[in-house]
Amino acid sequence: MDGKEDGVAAMAATDQGFDPAAYLQYNSTPPRADFENNDSVLLWKMGCLHRAFTEGDVSGELLVDIGSGPTLVNRQELKRWLKNAEDSALDWTPFLKHTCKLEGRQPSAWTEKAARLRSVVSDVLYVDVHIPQPLDPGALPPAGADCLVSCFCLEASSPDLAAFNRALGHMKVLLRSGGHLLLI
Q: How far apart are CA 12 and CA 140, in angstroms?
A: 30
pLDDT of residue 166: 95
pLDDT of residue 76: 83
pLDDT of residue 41: 85
pLDDT of residue 10: 61
pLDDT of residue 143: 95
* CA distances from residue 183 to 17, 27, 33, 63, 108 in whole angstroms, order as listed: 27, 18, 19, 13, 30
pLDDT of residue 88: 77
Averaged over successive runs of 10 residues, the pLDDT of the chain (184 residues) comes to 57 63 79 86 90 91 83 79 84 92 95 95 91 93 95 86 94 95 92
pLDDT of residue 9: 62
pLDDT of residue 49: 93
Q: Which residues neighbour 10 within 8 Å (Cβ) at sequence distance 6 or greater? A: 159
pLDDT of residue 65: 92
**Single pTM value for the model:** 0.82
Q: How far apart are CA 20 and CA 137, in angstroms?
A: 27
